[in-house]
Amino acid sequence: MVLDWFSGPVWSGFSCLARDGAVVAGGARDVFASRFAALLGDSGLQAKQVVRRVNARHPQGASWSVTAGGLSAWKTGRNLPSEANQDAFFRVVRLLTEHARSRAVRGHAVGELLDDVPWTRVLEQARAAPLPDASQRAEIVLYLRPLID
């Protein structure tokens, strides 16, 4: 399935994302994971490169760090960035968007995925969404695996 970030609703398994970014039908975590996985892929960076680059710019006194496991958990929707590591998340997003822009990726609109404001909305919606039960999580992982890998 091709995820169309430009027009119409975007179906990603269990959810539909309207053109304005609002989640039409449940699965906000799925939307978050799909978008993060797409941005990571479009950046051309490997998880270890992202970890190294973001942590190299770690502000003195900050209590967060970025790990490859954390990126993987965000990519699959297994975990979401907490309020405590939200700064780290947005540093990751900024790094990924810089690289995606420099590669002239055409997979998503600059005004949407390559801007902090929509990412804030998607993250808030994902945090507010109920966790799927174990059977739904297994279905989500099976559905997303080809899109993520």
Give per-residue pLDDT as tens, 35-83: 999 889 888 899 999 999 999 998 899 999 999 999 999 999 999 999 9
The pLDDT of residue 56: 95
Query: What is the number of alpha carbons within 13 Å of residue 44 lying toward its C-beta?
Result: 9
pLDDT band at 100 (very low <50, low <70, confident <90, very high): confident
Assess contact for 16 and 124: CB atoms under 8 A: no
Angstrom distance (rounded) from CA 86 to CA 139: 28
**Is pLDDT of 147 > 80?**
no
**Residue reference for tokens 């998340």:** 89
Please provide the average confidence, as pLDDT, over all residues in the chain.
Answer: 74
pLDDT band at 135 (very low <50, low <70, confident <90, very high): low
